[in-house]
Amino acid sequence: MNKEVRVRFAPSPTGPLHIGGVRTALYNYLFARKMGGKMLLRIEDTDQTRFVENAEQYILEALQWIGITIDEGPSVGGPCAPYRQSERKPMYKQYALQLVESGNAYYAFDTPEELEAMRKRLEAQKVASPAYNAITRTQMKNSLTLPEDEVKRRLEAGEPYVIRLKVPRKDEIRLNDLVRGWVMVHSSAIDDKVLMKSDGMPTYHLANVVDDHLMEITHVIRGEEWLPSAPLHVLLYKFLGWEETMPQFAHLPLLLKPDGNGKLSKRDADAGGFPVFPLDWKFQNKETGKDETWIGFREQGYLSDAVTNFLAFLGWNPGTNQELFTMEELIQAFSIERVGKSGTKFDIDKAKWFNQQYLKNKSGAELVPFLQKELQQRQLNASPESLVRICDLLKERLVFAHDLWNQGAYFFLSPTEYDPQVVTSKWTQEAVTVITSYAAALDKLPSLTAEQAKSTLNEVLEAQGVKMGKVLQALRVAITGVGAGPDLMQIMEVLGKQATVARIQQALTVLNSKVIA
């Protein structure tokens, strides 16, 4: 294809971005960058009843955090402005009228009561899916059944109406989807969708087709939930005379619940205690009138790079064993052909694994700001050099950045409690004797390095004829209060001789009554 690739992400500003939507945005971005094309952001705010204030700013911040750069959109402008559908309202009606004039759409004057009566009549007739379609429209109040002069009179009188698509009764609609291959739907399965509402606003179907055409979108990459609407959109392109420039479609697989049963929802996340939004979101739900708060990956301690990597693998695979990718590597490796058809489970443990790998691959110096933030909250401080050492020691054990404090608080605070399991099983008279001698030996050293700490301990153990395994965990709990952690000798070097000896002596005093003879 010689034409420049142009893709778009088109969210509605009605609440937080579900992680499935963010994945859609990411795949669009990766594809655009891989093909040297443009990424557009279009705000589809035609449903003003569900509009949420500040939602657009939230969307921009979320995409920026994930690492997606927008080439055209409300915040950056572009040759196809405006990029908010509410600001494009005047241009949609002309296309709806064009469809009416060409005989591919019609005015419908049915009242809500008349539509409800139709549904009940069809239900009474045991119709499986009651719809306003090629059959039922002949019994309704529209410009196909009413005399021309009456239609004119109703329009001139300002009587409320909608414009509906006139779907052919017997037609086969074909679509070659980039993910699913050929999709064929008989027109009898499609109802006469409303294109223009009575308030003059277009429905999603008309607005998105018109906008994609005017914005010269070449590829529509969106979620599987839009696949049933795709044949309708194909008809619109055909009826508007835009078949030659119709974008290629790619419908992405659903994100499934962790157990694989059904589509992932924000309620599933709420129940499971894991995030499905990139950022925290607090807003008033217009439908319920209640304030809602949803947890985000960023606020839960996930790194944006890790979330991006995790998202990329939710439905796509590179065809290799590589799992950790930079954004640039994802761009180079990405292809629509390697996107799967079947739904993919949302595995929060895999998201944690990605976060763990990204933290592990950072240098101690890169992790220091995360630790400093934790220390500032507690009004604690330490030298920059020791913070780098501490981060280097702890990074293998991290899942989230805040684990730097959770795993390493003992570097800054002497223990006030001691792991009871270790005390019960390892704090023996034998261990106490060795640890007492060890503290005395350390106190005689001019300074303390990890090597000195280890060699001194070996000397004490050899002199008393005790094996390392009998003492080491008890010594660790005396110094840190916990039963596991990084190399103990390295911890002692960071703490220094004075603090190490003081902690051992404190533990001996506190735990003396707990010694097991």
Catalytic residues: 266
Beta bridge partners of 202: 196
* Dihedral angle over CA of 308, 314, 319, 325, nearest 10: 10
Residues whose CB falls within 8 Å of the CB of residue 79, separated by 6 or more in sequence, listed in order: 72
The single-letter DSSP state of residue 178 is T
**Long-range contacts of the stretch 179-185 (C-beta < 8 A, 24+):** 179/250, 179/251, 179/252, 179/253, 179/336, 179/339, 179/340, 179/341, 180/227, 180/251, 180/341, 183/227, 183/230, 183/231, 185/231
Angle between helices 348-360 and 304-312 (to 10 degrees): 130
Distances 195 to 112, 156, 172, 230, 304 between C-alpha atoms, Å: 17, 20, 21, 15, 39
Radius of gyration of the chain (CA): 32
Contact 237, 243 (CB under 8 A): yes
Token output for 202: 């277009």
Containing 360, the helix (H) or strand (E) segment is helix 348-360
Q: Is 437 helix (H, G, I), strand (E, B) or coil?
A: helix
Contact 309, 331 (CB under 8 A): no
Q: In whole angstroms, what is the distance from residue 93 CA to residue 110 CA? A: 20
Q: Which of 486, 277, 483, 487 lies closest to 398, judged by CA?
A: 486
Phi (first) and psi of residue 168, to 5 degrees:
-55, 145
Q: Is 76 left (phi over 0), alpha (psi -120 to 50) or beta?
A: alpha
Distances 160 to 153, 155, 202, 293, 372 between C-alpha atoms, Å: 12, 8, 15, 39, 63
Q: In whole angstroms, what is the distance from residue 300 CA to residue 121 CA? A: 52
